[in-house]
Structure 1
Amino acid sequence: DLKWLDVPCPNANPITADMCKSFCERMLGAAELEEPELVKTIRLILLDGTGLFPSAQEMAERLHISKRTLHRRLAGFDLTYQELLDETRRRLADEYLRETTLTIDEIAERIGFSDTSNFRKAYRHWTGISPNEYRIQYLN
């Protein structure tokens, strides 16, 4: 029943809502840059908010193409699925480090890492610094 969409949530926090809206707009805005439709679609699927990032096979199935076709089309744009996945995870991690007080463990879990040490290694590989160093630099 659509009338429930107009009923305000009594426990809503307008500050948190504004922060979440701003975060989503920044993430989606970056996805709307001049890039091929396939890449935009993949980025939007990766940002769907579930925290579960599909494998290349699962992504291909969602796009109704074969895994080989997915890899071939991305290669035509000089990209790989892993590069798109890593970039999305890094950008999400950066946002969480800057905009929240989540622990490194919580951030790792939210961006699909079951092991925090793997997240720390990946983040250092992506940026050259640890997540803690990034957060400290941003806060200063």
Structure 2
Amino acid sequence: MDWRQQRDNTNIRYLLQIAATAGISADACLANTGLQQQRLAEDSGYQLWQELAAIRNLVALRPDPGLGMQMGDCYHLTCLGLLGYAMLSSPNLWEAIRISSRFRSLSLAICPVTLSLCEEGVWMSLDSSVLPEDARDLVVGRGLTAWLRLFGELLQRPFMPLRISLSGSELALADRYRDYFSCPIALAQSHDGMLIARQDLDSPLPLANAQTQRSCALLCERLCDGLADIQGTLARRVLQQLMSHSGKPCRADEVAVRLGMSERTLHRRLADEKQPFRMLHDRVRRNLAERLLRDSMLGLESIAQQLGYAEAASFSRAFKRWNGMSPDQWRRLQDEDSMVRALT
């Protein structure tokens, strides 16, 4: 696990919400994490190790085996952004689960998720072995309960797994799960997960839409590629906005409005992350320009217009700055490479 992964504040926000209902202050939960409640309220993100530290603080202050389940009950598909829409528009539950696995970096899971097919359906499991022992019950409870809620939203009907498997052995834990999931609970198992019935996996989703699903999957793919080397949390959110609207590139003021902050604050916080808006904007423009040059027959004037340039000459200068060659040269090179691959 890379505990330096950047996250938005969804998981921490729900953790603090559940802590507050248990009478535990945000300051106590965030002790020694380097996080501040005020910055989180501004939608500032964090690294994965900081979430884990907050979880361990909460467990130490309130060792309640049901906290994770309470937290998981807060989640909705909208928490997953583009990935949530890709799942919602999938043809059936199995395809929705597969697409969430494909774009795992966009999910909110804190530990690896595995899928294992069996005669009855599929086991969907959390690898809690990567976690400190004191954090496992909460993280597993949160994950399994979140799946229960998300799958119910996808199916738009109550969802119930066939069985729950837990690596823990406390009877009190099993009782809490049995009350919540209304299915058999097996303790002291080799993995933490739920068995999903084949008939549920094959169930058509009420909001399935092939075109929407393809579009969302493409955006998720572009987002994963675009975020691979971006560490700043706000920079990642700005890139998501730019990629979602790259057919007509957004201005900084438009992105700021969508993110609920002033343009000045947007520029200041991006400067703090050493990711200027212009650099992010150019990154998206470059990716889109290369795709249009490679995959379409559009002329330079049309591509320039689609990217928001006033004229083809301005686009050509920008493209040469990015790639060290003109758009025409780059396109010819791609065509030659395609011919070579076709002949080999």
- Length-normalised TM-score, structure 2: 0.34
Identify the residue that residue 335 of structure 2 maps to in structure 1: 139
Deviations 1:19-50 (A, max 9, x none): x7885454222134253332222112112246
Separation (CA, whole Å) in 1 of partners of 2:290 and 2:234: 24
Determine if the alignment matches structure 1 residue 30 to structure 2 residue 225: yes
Matched, 1:75 2:271: yes
Which one of the candidate residues 314, 324, 343 is aligned to 1:128? 324
TM-aligned CA distance change 1:84 to 1:32, over 3 Å? closer
Distance 1:83 1:8, change over 3 A: closer
The alignment yields a C-alpha RMSD, in angstroms, of 2.9
| Aligned: 1:51 with 2:247 | yes
Farther off after superposition, 33-42 or 87-96: 33-42
**Distance across 2 between alignment mates of 1:75 and 1:8:** 40
Instruction: Tell me how far 1:133 sits from its aligned partner.
Output: 0.5
The alpha-carbon deviation at position 65 of structure 1 amounts to 1.1
Bigger Cα displacement from structure 2, 48-57 vs 112-121: 48-57
More helix by share: 1
Q: Is the 8 A contact 2:246 2:285 kept in 1?
A: no
Does the aligned pair in 1 maintain the 2:232–2:275 contact within 8 Å? no
Using a 3 Å threshold, how does the CA distance of structure 1 residues 23 and 123 change in structure 2: closer, same or farther? farther
For the structure 1 residues 86 and 137, does the alpha-carbon distance in structure 2 shift closer, same or farther, using more than 3 Å as the test? Answer: same
Q: Distance in 2 between matches of 1:8 and 1:22?
A: 10
Distance across 2 between alignment mates of 1:71 and 1:8: 37
1:15 matched residue in structure 2? none
Q: Which amino acid aligns with 2:261?
A: I
Going from structure 1 to structure 2, the CA distance change for 1:139 and 1:8 (only over 3 Å counts) comes to: closer
Partner of 2:12: none
CA distance in 1, matches of 2:253, 2:210: 40
For 1:7 and 1:67, how far apart are their aligned partners in 2? 36
Matched with 2:306 is: 110
Aligned partner of 2:285 among 52, 75, 89: 89
- State the percentage of identical aligned residues: 30
Q: 1:103 to 1:64 in 2, by over 3 A?
A: same
Q: What is the alpha-carbon distance in structure 2 between the residues aligned to residue 55 and residue 8 of structure 1?
A: 30
Stretches of structure 1 lacking an aligned partner (at least 5 in a row): 10-17
Counterparts of 1:26 and 1:96, CA distance in 2: 17
* 2:75 corresponding residue in structure 1: none
Normalized per residue, which structure has more strand? 2
Instruction: Specify the code of the residue in structure 2 equivalent to 1:98.
Output: R
Structure 1 counterpart of 2:236, from 40, 43, 53: 40
TM-score (normalised: structure 1): 0.76
Q: 1:80 Cα shift?
A: 0.7
Aligned residues: 131
How far, CA to CA, are the matches of 2:222 and 2:209 in structure 1?
28
Amino acid at match of 2:253: Q
76-85 vs 36-45, which moves further: 36-45
Give the aligned residue type for 2:307: I
Query: Per the alignment, do residues 90 and 63 of structure 1 end up closer, same or farther by CA in structure 2, a change over 3 Å counting?
Result: same
Distance 1:106 1:21, change over 3 A: farther
